[in-house]
Amino acid sequence: MHTRRHFLQLSAAAFAAVTRAQAQPRQPNLIILFTDDMGYSDLSCYGNPVIRTPNLDRMAAEGIRFTSFYSAAPVCTPSRVGLLTGRHPIRAGQPNNTGPDTRGGLPLSEILLPQVLKKIGYRTMAIGKWHLGHQPKEQLPISRGFDEWFGLPYSNDMIPPWVQTKVPLRVYRNADPVEESPDQSNLTERYTAEALRFIKASGNQPFFLYMPYNMPHLPVSAGSRAGQSRAGLYGDVVETLDWSVGEILRTLKEQRIDNNTLVCFASDNGPWHNLPPRMLAKGVEPWHTGTKGVLRGSKGTSYEGGQRVPGIMRWPGVIAPGQVTADPGSTLDLFPTLVSAAGGTMPSDRKYDGFDLMPFLRQGGRSPRNEFYYCVGKTLEGVREGPWKYRKGRSGGSEGKPELFHLDWDPAEMYNLHDRHPDITARLSEKLKKFAAEIGADVVV
């Protein structure tokens, strides 16, 4: 009798343990889809009249679409620094681009998002453009928190005739180059195949997939989907990226993990409308740089067109569908937001510039981000606070004169209100100088 009672007690305890485990929610899968040089107006859900992006449109309709979402910087490397560290690129020690002949890159002392996620049980993979340093090998993704990497070490134009270097463009698998001078026209399709393989192999372990596409950075090419868009070659490229997003979302449903996956989509900076003459070679045309749209400025500038980019997040059952918000968000916020979604904790030994958006995404209300700083290289050129933006910079052809814009009234930054609101100008100017001193940035005097 005693033995039977003891067996029943053990059985009840085991059943309770199983029930608790089943009730315990599994950590969500996390995906960041990150395009290169895609402009604010390149997607149909952001107003493009010709380019068709049904999958991204559906992703936005099933989640939240930001109309004031900002990349951490207006060019490639520092933008990726901000996303993967949650810190302004100047604060993180890498405010400028790296290239084929660069040694070093993002300081090894920086903690990257995948390193935090790996510690709490995540499988991690990077697919696509790295651009945070590739020599020595300690700079590569495989040494910085990613279990796997497949892609290019930097931008796809960093070869002759566009960039003068003797280093060939190589595709890497983990820590080693496996292919030289790849056909760029099918890179998006190859990256997509790698992503589907990784997702299908996830099993019961949560995963983090970071997918920084090489396109639509110049030179653009479109592979098997060439000639399908009314917007020409550039439209073909963007529609191929949309196809890739659709394949990933379809696979999440097929694997029955759709409701447990947070997918984020953004671009690293605005379109390259101000491309240098060196790029107009080997078939590259000025209209291969996307849609001008409503915003002033472009890649490399601190006007809105340089850093305001598409921002879409989707997590069925967690993020209510059909939301459009004009509140600011940033790629700087993805680090703390994804760590929060995963149930992790942020490292406590350094200052972060991102905000945890999860309470906002779950419950609505107002975004925790009310301000944003615009950095171009080592120079802090602007600050947004609420709808007001103060700017004193030289990028984009400006002359270093103070500018004040109300971005709700004037997202195109056409009307300088500096003289009408000297009090706001003075307050934001001081705020800019104070933050520049904190992070070690220059300011335009």
Give the mean pLDDT of 10-23. Answer: 39
**What's the rounded Cα separation, in Å, for the pair 84 and 159?**
26
At residue 25, the pLDDT reads: 66
CA 70-74-77 angle, to 5 degrees, is: 110
Catalytic choice (88, 131, 134, 273)? 131
Type of residue numbered 326: A
Give the mean pLDDT of 151-173. Answer: 97
Cα separations (Å) of 385 from 127, 309, 396?
35, 18, 21
At residue 162, the pLDDT reads: 97
**What's the rounded Cα separation, in Å, for the pair 45 and 42?**
9
Is 375 designated active site? no
User: Which domains are present in the chain?
Assistant: 26-366 (3.40.720.10), 378-439 (3.30.1120.10)
More confidently predicted of 15 and 356: 356
Band (pLDDT 50/70/90 cuts) for residue 401 is very high
What residues pair up with 34 in beta bridges, in sequence order?
212, 266
- Model confidence at 301: pLDDT above 90: yes
Q: Which residue in the block uniquely carries the two structure tokens 């003459």?
A: 277
Q: 10 Å Cβ neighbour count for 101? A: 12
Is 45 designated active site? no
Catalytic choice (76, 134, 273, 375)? 76
Q: Could you read off the pLDDT of 38-96 as tens digits, one per residue?
A: 999 999 999 999 999 999 999 999 999 999 999 999 999 999 999 999 999 999 999 99
Band (pLDDT 50/70/90 cuts) for residue 286 is very high
**What's the rounded Cα separation, in Å, for the pair 41 and 427?**
32
Band (pLDDT 50/70/90 cuts) for residue 292 is confident
Q: Could you read off the pLDDT of 173-195 as tens digits, one per residue?
A: 999 999 999 999 999 999 999 99
CB burial of 197-234 (b: ≥16 within 10 Å; e: otherwise) equals: ebbeebeeebbbbbbbbbbbbbbbbbbebeeebebbbb
Residues in contact with 284: Cβ distance below 8 Å, sequence separation at least 6, in sequence order: 162, 218, 219, 220, 275
Q: Which residue in the block uniquely carries the two structure tokens 């006007």?
A: 303
Question: Is residue 368 helix, strand or coil?
Answer: coil
pTM across the whole model: 0.94
